[in-house]
Structure 1
């Protein structure tokens, strides 16, 4: 498993937060219980199985929802 922190361009509303959270949770290999979108800091935190999904897949999912990823940090757990 790996843990990701993804910095986004500024979030503008709580519905954006919910949309991103649901999008990331829908990816196979993401620990759905771990997904948190932090509105005030515009960050997404999630744990994922790197044998099923990559950080690039998660970033692309967020991008397809219309939100810009500024940077990602991944740690092995």
Structure 2
């Protein structure tokens, strides 16, 4: 499993949490998704043989959230 933390521009509403978590959890290979509203971070854990971090980043941007940085470990 691969872990990645995506720093987003500031989130403006708590409903953003559900929107992001619901969408990312539907991805095949996604293990966990946690959105930290106060720090505007999305913590994920996924199967790197199925999903790439760039795919997650692209989905976040399609949802309307600007990704400032991504740390993959």
Give, in whole Å, the separation in 2 of the partners of 1:66 and 1:23. Answer: 12
Ranges in structure 2 where 5+ consecutive residues have no aligned partner: none
TM-score with structure 2 setting the length: 0.95
Q: How does 1:9-20 map to 2 (within 5 A)?
A: 9-20=9-20
After TM superposition, give the deviation of residue 5 of structure 1 in Å: 0.6
2:29 is matched with: 29
By percentage of residues, which structure has more strand? 2
Give the alignment of 1:28-47 within 5 angstroms.
28-31=28-31, 34-47=32-45
The CA RMSD over aligned residues, in Å, is 0.7
Could you report, residue by residue, the CA deviation over 1:22-73 in whole angstroms, capped at 9, with x for unpaired residues? 1111111110xx2100000000001011110000000011111111111100
1:3 corresponds to 2:15: no
Q: Does 1:68 align with 2:66?
A: yes
Q: Deviations over 1:1-29 (max 9, x none)?
A: 10111100100001111101111111111
Task: List gaps (5 residues or longer) in structure 1.
Answer: none
The structure 1 segments of at least 4 consecutive aligned residues displaced by more than 4 Å after TM superposition are none
